[in-house]
Chain A
């Protein structure tokens, strides 16, 4: 108890400096949170559409790096696993880019198209459920459009008629899905329409095979059965597995992982420098006192503990406003980018940054304490 009060009093003795020190730690914490937040948001935009896929298992070609650059594989592979125990339904999903013309400006832009069998419940969006949606999807030259598509694609009202790859197309409805990294917008249409627009693509080649399992079936177990049945030209993923696969691809391909990890590392070092400066000045100011303590018989270990405690106080005191400010900035960011960058806090990150902050402060404490530990009482006076 006595120890704590020494460390505490040392810090509190000069209020302004304490406030600045806390602000320094807090800023380092904010920087780390922002870097992690941006990275997390980018990755989640790249993969969160998978949550709307109504399937537990995904079949893709081993050449497919992520969904938008997929290589198609033979549809027979899906039929081969349709009879596996636990499989309720197999659903082929076709995907490709198509040029969509903004009917107002006349400018065309690439949009990502999903082709589905209208009788398959491929997506979970409420707008695509029911007989009415099925009927609309089955109409020729008709598509559903993603409301989260960029505004450059133009109006999205039902009945809007425009062109897609020089062919007339009518908007029959809309839904909210999001295109991830690779697509500015998405369309969902029937497989028959898909073939119309993306000729010469055949329906016998599938981009993603979706497998819906019976309630209670274990996705891992069914997946391993499928892997033993299927040849090497197709890979089987669980939903978590395919999200992981896509995230890893985007982290590497866009250098996002590198950029933001480096941001975290440099912020960490800067935070350590700030704390070091504070602690070092503090030790220098109290050198006579530390020396006196040593002369009185206190061990170096004791001084060591005091400085470490100061470091931990700084870490905690800086972390709390840092976390609060980061939450505020997350909110502002999400608002300023109109939802295209959904930064959100999660428990893992809160813990991770706390540990990082403690580490950062302790490290500076250990470096700065050397001077006090090596102090020879005889030299000070």
Chain B
């Protein structure tokens, strides 16, 4: 048993340079799959970044708001109604609007998303809000997302520019990321400032007030059953709002993700590209194994002449395939990680490598190498020792 492992290993490593090239080959195939898969996940994950920062277990929105894009608000008194229930610790209001931000350097306007909250309430799990609370309470101030697109200009404390044709000063930054609904970036400001900018933007724009809220975030007391509270709120609150758990199978976050899955071709495009990366990987690994088999042609024939069965030779090639898949996967993941960071910085999208995604792709790499191994080994199996010499 022990004897078998070194054969595969030695076959692969006896030419160091080629071994390195082989690993690079597998690594590139892995990189290709990671890249396309990563783009798909980033496009989906980015849509959920704001949602995942809601500091509450239950979300209340207007029934018409089927996704974050739909600008429909609901009456704030629904939040007061929700507060009356035992188990509800608090219900926070969030106001959202999109408006032009002027890049202070080239004076070009770009649309950004403004998220407004009461700075004294922990509505969002963004530490920068609490640490800039006093500054946010000053008139005409805001925090800007450092992941905003380059088009908005410099993002640092002290930048003075125009938002909705009115002066604004950045008093700090936070890190979140862009999504389809956020335009070129995100701003966070106090609800008082929100009124300053959006209460009356002229005859052709909606007039915003505290009477209507875009997103309601309900924080429950510790130990409260979320499912049951969702049901209670649904049954008692009027039909104009939709009450959903934030997380879970039927939650708000999943619903948003589903919307983008069903309404865009993102999934189709990148699944196709990922599976093509998989095929390219098969070809790359096949080349490597085939060359190896061809080089050791005579040795394999000798082994057969000595009485080793086809199964043994298959085992050797499969071991080589497995070694290649594991060792090639490591540089592939490392380079992909760099690529994710670079792509995240360039696009503002949210690239993350979760354990589940890495495991899935490792599995795909295994299969890729095994398929190539199975094709490459056929030549050995049909070898007639008598033909070789």
Please judge, given known A-B contacts A23-B283, A258-B343, A266-B31, whether A340 and B69 are in contact too, CB under 8 Å: no
Q: Are B180 and A200 in contact (CB under 8 A)?
A: no
Q: Looking at chain B's contact residues, is the secondary structure mostly helix, strand, loop, or mixed? A: helix
Please judge, given known A-B contacts A23-B283, A24-B283, whether A273 and B276 are in contact too, CB under 8 Å: no
Residue of B nearest to A17 (CB): B290
Please judge, given known A-B contacts A34-B272, A202-B204, A270-B29, whether A280 and B290 are in contact too, CB under 8 Å: no
Mask: chain A, 244-269; 1 = CB below 8 Å from B; 0 = not? 00000000111100110011001101
Residues of B within 8 A of A276 (CB): 21
With A and B bound together, what is the CA distance between A24 and B273 in angstroms?
Answer: 15
On chain A, the number of residues with a Cβ less than 8 Å from chain B's Cβ atoms is: 55
Residues of A within 8 A of B269 (CB): 38, 341
Q: Are B35 and A277 in contact (CB under 8 A)?
A: no
With A and B bound together, what is the CA distance between A329 and B279 in angstroms?
Answer: 15
Which residues of chain B from 157 to 187 have a CB within 8 Å of any chain A CB?
180, 183-184
Residues of A within 8 A of B25 (CB): 273-274, 277
Please judge, given known A-B contacts A20-B286, A34-B273, A277-B288, whether A27 and B268 are in contact too, CB under 8 Å: no
Please judge, given known A-B contacts A34-B273, A65-B110, A108-B64, whether A273 and B263 are in contact too, CB under 8 Å: no
Q: Is B261 an interface residue (CB 8 A)?
A: no
Residue of B nearest to A198 (CB): B204
Name A184's contact: one of B263, B276, B277, B284 (CB within 8 Å).
B263
Mask: chain A, 11-27; 1 = CB below 8 Å from B; 0 = not? 00010110011011001
Q: Is A170 an interface residue (CB 8 A)?
A: no
Q: Are A31 and B347 in contact (CB under 8 A)?
A: no
Residue of B nearest to A26 (CB): B283
With A and B bound together, what is the CA distance between A184 and B264 in angstroms?
Answer: 10
Residue of B nearest to A69 (CB): B111
Mask: chain B, 267-287; 1 = CB below 8 Å from A; 0 = not? 011001100110110011011
Q: Is B349 an interface residue (CB 8 A)?
A: yes
Please judge, given known A-B contacts A31-B273, A72-B204, A277-B21, whether A107 and B66 are in contact too, CB under 8 Å: yes
Residue of B nearest to A27 (CB): B280
Name A273's contact: one of B28, B294, B349 (CB within 8 Å).
B28
Q: Is B133 an interface residue (CB 8 A)?
A: no
Q: Are A99 and B286 in contact (CB under 8 A)?
A: no
Name A27's contact: one of B21, B24, B151, B279 (CB within 8 Å).
B279
Mask: chain B, 21-51; 1 = CB below 8 Å from A; 0 = not? 1001100110110011001000000000000
Residues of A within 8 A of B18 (CB): 280
Q: Is A110 an interface residue (CB 8 A)?
A: yes
Q: Is B106 an interface residue (CB 8 A)?
A: no
Q: Are A266 and B268 in contact (CB under 8 A)?
A: no
Residue of A252, A255, A267 with most partner-chain B CB within 10 A: A255
How many A-B contacts if CB must be within 8 Å?
A: 126
With A and B bound together, what is the CA distance between A202 and B205 in angstroms?
Answer: 11
Which residues of chain B from 177 to 203 have a CB within 8 Å of any chain A CB?
180, 183-184, 203
Q: Is B236 an interface residue (CB 8 A)?
A: no
Please judge, given known A-B contacts A27-B283, A63-B100, whether A340 and B204 are in contact too, CB under 8 Å: no
Q: Is B353 an interface residue (CB 8 A)?
A: no
Q: Is B346 an interface residue (CB 8 A)?
A: yes
Q: Is A360 an interface residue (CB 8 A)?
A: no
A371 to chain B, nearest CB (A): 10
B321 to chain A, nearest CB (A): 15
B87 to chain A, nearest CB (A): 30
Q: Is A150 an interface residue (CB 8 A)?
A: yes
A31 to chain B, nearest CB (A): 6
Mask: chain B, 335-353; 1 = CB below 8 Å from A; 0 = not? 0000000010011110000
Q: Is A168 an interface residue (CB 8 A)?
A: no
Q: Is A201 an interface residue (CB 8 A)?
A: yes
Mask: chain B, 92-112; 1 = CB below 8 Å from A; 0 = not? 000000001000000001110
Please judge, given known A-B contacts A274-B284, A340-B265, whether A259 and B347 are in contact too, CB under 8 Å: yes
Q: Is A35 an interface residue (CB 8 A)?
A: yes
Residues of A within 8 A of B290 (CB): 16-17, 20
Q: Is B257 an interface residue (CB 8 A)?
A: no
Which residues of chain A from 270 to 304 have a CB within 8 Å of any chain B CB?
270, 273-274, 276-278, 280-281
Which residues of chain A from 1 to 46 have a CB within 8 Å of any chain B CB?
14, 16-17, 20-21, 23-24, 27-28, 30-31, 34-35, 38
A363 to chain B, nearest CB (A): 15
Q: Is B83 an interface residue (CB 8 A)?
A: no
Q: Is A333 an interface residue (CB 8 A)?
A: yes
Q: List 14 A-B contacts (CB under 8 A).
A: A20-B286, A31-B32, A65-B110, A72-B204, A200-B204, A201-B203, A252-B151, A258-B343, A262-B343, A263-B36, A270-B280, A274-B25, A277-B21, A337-B268
**Chain A interfacial positions (CB closer than 8 Å to B):** 14, 16-17, 20-21, 23-24, 27-28, 30-31, 34-35, 38, 63, 65, 69, 71-72, 99, 107-110, 150, 184, 200-202, 205, 252-255, 258-259, 262-263, 266-267, 269-270, 273-274, 276-278, 280-281, 329, 333, 336-337, 340-341
Q: Which 9 pairs across A and B sit closest by C-beta, in order of nearness? A: A255-B347, A27-B280, A24-B283, A108-B64, A201-B204, A270-B28, A341-B265, A281-B291, A259-B39
- Not counting A24-B284, A270-B32, a sample of 10 additional A-B residue pairs whose C-beta atoms are within 8 angstroms of each other reads A27-B279, A31-B32, A65-B111, A202-B203, A252-B149, A255-B347, A262-B35, A266-B32, A270-B29, A333-B272
